[in-house]
Chains A and B, each alone.
Chain A
């Protein structure tokens, strides 16, 4: 099957000419910024429209702050998201899907503790139809009793499936550990709460919280931005409410402390999930912190990945990412590792955090991270869907295209000293808390020996 007469690995890895020099970068080429219109309609809805890309599509992202403090909010919100697009006076579930499909379209609603999102797309020629279906749901969703009853049963089953996923278990444990009973920690609803929600409770939530004031609509694609705003205004102008969208109550700062070990029966791999307080995107120190985070574990060529994956082979992927909510930012560090190397991986992770605090990233590390931060912003927003998603995320914290356009220059201006300061200030191991989810029978002993872990 493979060649019998092949060269040896040594012969393969060597040529007569020998190693060659890496070519320099060429001249930067100028792209063309999207044309953007960013405005607020008189019902309070902010609309951001951009012409971008070469395919005849339009991407839509609607984002409504949707936090709630009632104990059954997560259950009501989840049922609302699952049934928002399943019926109005004019359309039933099948008709919604049929009308969207006629313009190559899709709309999907999802919810988390902070916001309700409706995301979708259609052929650009079908923008009016897409907006019409959206408006119909926002102003006329009826939540038929039978749809709610059926969705409730399915949701209970889906919650069971979700809670069998290690990453979902780990996320819930981390949220509880970081935020206790703050509404932000209630992501997957409790099955018992879902079972008690009736259609009237969902309709009531819609009346109170599916509102334009404080919400943002992003439209990106092969559209004239001015005309897209007019289309949005025409379609959604009748969506009105005296209520204001549900902003998330301020989050307490994440403080450093012991990790909590959570037992999961039959686990062959553990989830390491660490977190510390960071900064909001709008903070002047954020670009330096962004570079520091890349140096630590925010991309492949980072200290953490090069250590626990490429040197030790403890994990397939280690990551360090930011989580932003209005006015706040935290850093999340994650890696999944086999039970037998979990304690060793935690030790190395703490070592790399400590190194960030006392051995600042070198000039080369900072330059590499800087280039990556600038370049990946370019690549991730090169598609219509990528730009739409990022503009929607930025809109959620009050920012827009002007922030996006200026971010490369802010990154270029960051000095190595500023990165060192951010690294020391935010990545010290003592600033972190977190959870380890895995087989406690195997993990307890080595984690006890390491210390700083509450055992079950």
Chain B
């Protein structure tokens, strides 16, 4: 693959910039991607303000000194571009993909809200309503809403930062004030706490000049030391059961602690490979046994990373295994089968063929991520932010290839029954399946 050559600069106000021009060639589009990653996610929000980091992300789209409400959307889309933002455990990202001719405009829009967002009561109330609709859509009004990303952390973790609901309780969202927004912005949205990434079809020299022009006079502000969210792994198996009014079938999630993604990267990657050996494809161990041979589950999936994607957070991070099963089977049989397969892998490791298969699929998957300009931009930005080295993105295929059978066996051994969370979802008595009039 053609490696994008990375260029880096840091502005005097502390803003870190990653430039990754795409190689030209057959079938390349005149398109640029740009993103800003702020080093704050929902783990940093204060007690009594669950969901605040995400709510604040919405407010960043509501106008800034040079831009009325609605202007951001209109300028991006009216230039032929697309935009979005998302809030994660440890960071919040904002991105645009635009025709190359709109690069300066995109940078202007990002710089204006980094410098002077309009945080008003009217926009705050409007976006509290919008976020509540988002939560109804994705959590409250559907089966398995928030499963497992909202429901598992309170079983596995004990501190507020790691355990609480990052989407937020309605009461907390309604309590948010404009002054909370001002405090949050001044604390976390300083240029020195952000990474700007530009990818795609552009000249490095020209882009560098535009970055200085638009971000250069965003005033520097103090950035406090980053908090650690470390907490001890659970002692013993932590169990919980939750009712789901919309779910037609029971479900189950197992949660384990992962190695530190930054400090113990290779061991972390062994867990990522393990997740694929377990559930990625019909030949994967748990698919073969639980889905096809013994037919204990309707669906099963393992992943490193709370939100389903690896390398998306700092320590502590979560290994998830979730399954939907029939009431006749029961959670215990599923857990027992998973434990047996983990023990077998811990003792024998995966076969060379299994490892080769998983490695090839990861390699292909990483190529596809690099091919989509949105994911390429966001991967570079989040990796620069979390790991300090965007280069890691293109090194990952080799790092995956270097994972050995012994590494995977050690990862399987580390997923211990006496230090995990077990969450069961039970359909409520009167479930609402069906749309009979």
Contacts and interface: CB of A to CB of B under 8 A. Distances in A.
Nearest to B123: A310
Contacts of B159: none
Contacts of B326: 157
Contacts, number: 331
Given A26-B100, A101-B360, 6 more contacts: A13-B65, A29-B101, A52-B27, A165-B142, A313-B130, A379-B97
A267 B435 CA distance: 11
Given A28-B101, A101-B357, A300-B73, A121 B434 contact: no
Nearest to B126: A313
Interface string B45-87: 0100000000000000000111001100111011111110000
Contacts of A269: 133, 136-137, 140-141
A336 B182 contact: no
B181 to A, nearest CB: 6
Interface in B174-209: 178-188, 201
Interface of B: 1-2, 22-31, 44, 46, 64-66, 69-70, 73-75, 77-83, 97-105, 108, 112, 115-120, 125-134, 136-137, 140-143, 178-188, 201, 217, 224, 245-249, 281-284, 288, 291-292, 295, 298-299, 324, 326, 353, 356-358, 360-361, 363-365, 367-368, 370-373, 430-437
A301 B283 contact: no
A310 B126 contact: yes
5 closest Cβ pairs, A-B complex: A375-B80, A313-B129, A104-B364, A52-B27, A34-B27
A121 B371 CA distance: 13
B373 A371 contact: no
A310 B63 CA distance: 12
A263 B436 contact: yes
Contacts of B77: 299-301, 368, 371-372
Contact of B432 (A25, A35, A56, A264): A264
A240 to B, nearest CB: 28
Interface in A127-170: 150, 153-154, 157-158, 160-161, 163-166, 169-170
B119 A9 contact: yes
Nearest to A31: B30
Nearest to B373: A382
Contacts of A251: none
B155 to A, nearest CB: 23
Contact of B363 (A123, A173, A311): A123
A35 B298 CA distance: 43
Contacts of B24: 32
Interface string A98-130: 101111111000000000000001110000000
Interface in A307-353: 309-317, 336-338
A52 B437 CA distance: 49
A447 to B, nearest CB: 13
A172 interface: yes
A160 B249 contact: yes
A252 interface: no
Nearest to A454: B437
B185 A378 contact: no
A319 to B, nearest CB: 12
B364 A121 contact: yes
B140 A13 contact: no
A57 B224 CA distance: 44
A449 interface: no
A266 B30 contact: no
Nearest to B96: A379
Contacts of A374: 80
Interface stretch (A16-24, A202-210, A355-363, A418-426): A16-24
Nearest to A364: B78
Interface residues of A, number: 114
A24 B44 CA distance: 38
A193 interface: no
Contact of A31 (B115, B201, B292): B201
Max chain B Cβ within 10 angstroms of own Cβ: one of A2, A93, A386, A437 = A2
Max chain B Cβ within 10 angstroms of own Cβ: one of A27, A100, A314 = A100
Contacts of B245: 266
A272 interface: no
A413 interface: no
A39 interface: no
Contact of B186 (A12, A31, A101, A104): A12
Contacts of A20: 65-66, 108, 112
A230 interface: no
A316 B137 contact: yes
Contact of A22 (B105, B125, B127, B353): B105
Contact of A9 (B128, B182, B299): B182
A56 B27 contact: no
B28 to A, nearest CB: 5
Nearest to B203: A29
A54 B141 contact: no
A410 B1 CA distance: 36
A368 B102 CA distance: 13
A309 B435 contact: no
Interface string A232-264: 000000000000000000000000000011111
B26 A93 contact: no
A160 B137 CA distance: 19
Contacts of B364: 57, 104-106, 121-123
A161 B246 CA distance: 10
A381 B295 CA distance: 40
A155 B334 CA distance: 19
A350 B66 CA distance: 33
B281 A101 contact: yes
Nearest to B80: A375
Contact of B143 (A165, A260, A376): A165
Max chain B Cβ within 10 angstroms of own Cβ: one of A93, A338, A375 = A375
